[in-house]
């Protein structure tokens, strides 16, 4: 029987990247059937992206049968791998996630702070539905989730979903490893970084190049800005000597929201005043991309896709699927349940960690106790993530309030309520679980 992959959110402008990933790996990961699935609102985009994918496959002259559909249940029949790259409410919802906090002088970001909380609230129930369908229709398939906030969504699925073959993937550890390789003039295969923490809150420790410890050299290059592994959506402000030399860890680009909060807020407020939100910029980039995709002559992924922060996500995802399929036993960085790898975090919580990838799925490699320098904040962020999941699943107003208040980017409990209420109203069409609003108004 052939190898079937289903991409949920297939109309995304990122899709040509993952299609290219399948084309490049066809010898070791011979996809025979690829189905792109989307919802009615995304039908036009799905047609455009589907037709480009068709031309890409035709040019590569590979026996991959491609189709696209709005019928998710039908698409899932006989799937071996399912990927999820959805954005509930589209870029309009993202714009609200970014705009509303900023108008209250609070960081507005799609995966951090109030924006990340609301993205989780909108996304988790939909992913739960997909999990239920997969459990019923394709119980042996792996679900590879890149939908943000990827760590929180993956934890919700693994703890509360029906389908348990779930792995979360992000491009950040992948970018960090590749940048080190580029700087050291070697292949990414020769670089090993131990990753500790959670998605968009992960630190790198012990950087090995061909087995030799190069951590200090890499930390020095980070300080001198000779290495910058920030994705397109983040402008790195640079770290201070003291921060890097005392931690002796590689921060990820999202750490600037937590450790340079004031500076990032000022920068983001200025950018917001000048150019609007990142969502508005992305809308323009996407318009440009979709115009390009309609060019009948285009048969490859266009380089403009690199203007998106998520570029290269598909390399991480395709390598993961490839290693599961071939039972490779290599090490990749993924989001999976802790099971004691970090004893200071709950065993069933999801962490971003190196894992050995075989046909039975990933086995996390033990990290050990968290260094004292980061222990408190990592535990706080994990507790926050759990509050978000509880609120997203229960639709309980006070739980949502608690998640908002306990997020380190929300500076005041009064402001937390104002932002929460405004965002609940703004997103109400995508938050059926909060329709009762029990507890709202309690002072």
Beta carbon nearer to ligand G6P, 186 or 235: 235
Q: Please choose, from the candidates 47, 316, 326, the residue with its C-alpha nearest in 3D space to the C-alpha of residue 199.
A: 316
Q: Which of 223, 232, 244, 298 binds ligand G6P (CB under 6 A)?
A: 232
| C-beta atoms surrounding 36 within 10 Å | 26
Helix axis angle for 113-137 and 90-103, nearest 10°, is 150
Please report whether residue 231 would count as binding ligand G6P according to CB under 6 A.
yes
**Cβ distance 153 to 120 under 8 Å?**
yes
Round to whole Å and give the CA distance between 275 and 432: 32
Round to whole Å and give the CA distance between 238 and 116: 23
Stretch that binds ligand G6P, among 5-13, 229-237, 368-376, 434-442 (CB under 6 A): 229-237
Beta carbon nearer to ligand G6P, 119 or 214: 119
Round to whole Å and give the CA distance between 215 and 207: 5
Q: Catalytic residue among 14, 174, 229, 254, which?
A: 254
Q: Interface mask (CB under 6 A) for ligand G6P, residues 162-181, using x and -?
A: --------xxx---------
| C-beta atoms surrounding 166 within 10 Å | 26
CA angle (39 as vertex; 35, 45 as ends), nearest 5: 75
Stretch that binds ligand G6P, among 133-141, 202-210, 226-234, 350-358 (CB under 6 A): 226-234
Query: Which residues 233-262 are close enough to bind ligand G6P by CB under 6 A?
Result: 233
Query: Which residues 188-217 are close enough to bind ligand G6P by CB under 6 A?
Result: none
Exposure letters 8-21 (e unless 16+ CB within 10 A, then b): bbbbbbbbbbbbbb
Q: Which of 56, 76, 282, 316 binds ligand G6P (CB under 6 A)?
A: 282
Please report whether residue 45 would count as binding ligand G6P according to CB under 6 A.
no
254 is catalytic: yes
**Residue facing ligand G6P at closest CB distance:** 309
| C-beta atoms surrounding 150 within 10 Å | 26
Please report whether residue 271 would count as binding ligand G6P according to CB under 6 A.
no
Query: Which residues 286-315 are close enough to bind ligand G6P by CB under 6 A?
Result: 308-310
Please report whether residue 278 would count as binding ligand G6P according to CB under 6 A.
yes
Q: Which residues bind ligand G6P (CB under 6 A)?
A: 148, 170-172, 231-233, 278, 282, 308-310
Catalytic residues: 254
């Amino acid at each position: 029987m052939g190898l079937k992959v289903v991409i949920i959110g297939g109309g995304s402008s990122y899709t040509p990247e993952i299609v290219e990933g399948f084309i490049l790996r066809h010898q070791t990961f011979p996809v025979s059937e690829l189905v792109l699935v989307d919802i009615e609102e995304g039908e036009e985009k799905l047609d455009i992206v589907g037709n480009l994918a068709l031309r890409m496959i035709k040019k590569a002259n590979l026996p991959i049968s491609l189709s696209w559909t709005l019928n998710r249940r039908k698409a899932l029949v006989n799937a071996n791998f399912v990927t999820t790259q959805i954005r509930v409410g589209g870029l309009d919802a993202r714009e609200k996630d970014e705009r509303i906090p900023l108008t209250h002088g609070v960081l507005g970001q799609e995966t951090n702070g109030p924006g990340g909380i609301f993205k989780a609230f909108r996304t988790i129930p939909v992913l739960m539905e997909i999990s239920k369908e997969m459990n019923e229709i394709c119980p042996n398939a792996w679900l590879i989730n890149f939908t943000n906030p990827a760590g929180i969504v993956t934890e919700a699925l693994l703890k509360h979903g029906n389908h348990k073959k779930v792995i979360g993937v992000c491009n950040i550890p992948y970018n960090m490893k590749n940048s080190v390789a580029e700087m050291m003039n070697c292949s990414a295969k020769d670089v090993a970084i131990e990753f500790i923490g959670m998605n968009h809150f992960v630190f790198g420790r012990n950087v090995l190049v061909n087995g030799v410890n190069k951590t200090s050299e890499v930390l020095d290059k980070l300080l001198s800005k000779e290495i910058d592994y920030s994705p397109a959506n983040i402008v790195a402000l640079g770290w201070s000597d003291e921060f890097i030399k005392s931690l002796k860890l590689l921060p990820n680009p999202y750490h600037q929201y937590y450790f340079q909060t004031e500076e990032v807020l000022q920068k983001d407020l200025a950018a917001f005043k000048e150019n609007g939100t990142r969502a508005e910029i992305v809308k323009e980039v996407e318009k440009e991309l979709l115009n390009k995709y309609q060019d009948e002559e285009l048969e490859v992924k266009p380089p403009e896709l690199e203007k998106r922060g998520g570029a290269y996500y598909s390399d991480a995802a395709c390598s993961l699927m490839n290693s599961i399929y071939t039972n490779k036993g290599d090490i990749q960085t993924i989001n999976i349940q802790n099971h004691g790898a970090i004893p200071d975090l709950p065993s069933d919580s999801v962490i971003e960690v190196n894992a050995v990838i075989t046909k039975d799925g990933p086995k996390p490699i033990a990290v050990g106790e968290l260094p004292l320098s980061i222990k408190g904040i990592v535990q706080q962020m994990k507790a926050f993530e759990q509050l978000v999941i509880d609120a997203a699943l229960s639709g309980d107003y006070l739980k949502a309030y608690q998640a908002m208040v306990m997020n380190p980017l929300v500076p005041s409990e009064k402001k937390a309520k104002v932002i929460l209420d405004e965002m609940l109203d703004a997103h109400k069409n995508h938050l059926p679980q909060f329709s009762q609003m029990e507890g709202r108004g309690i002072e």
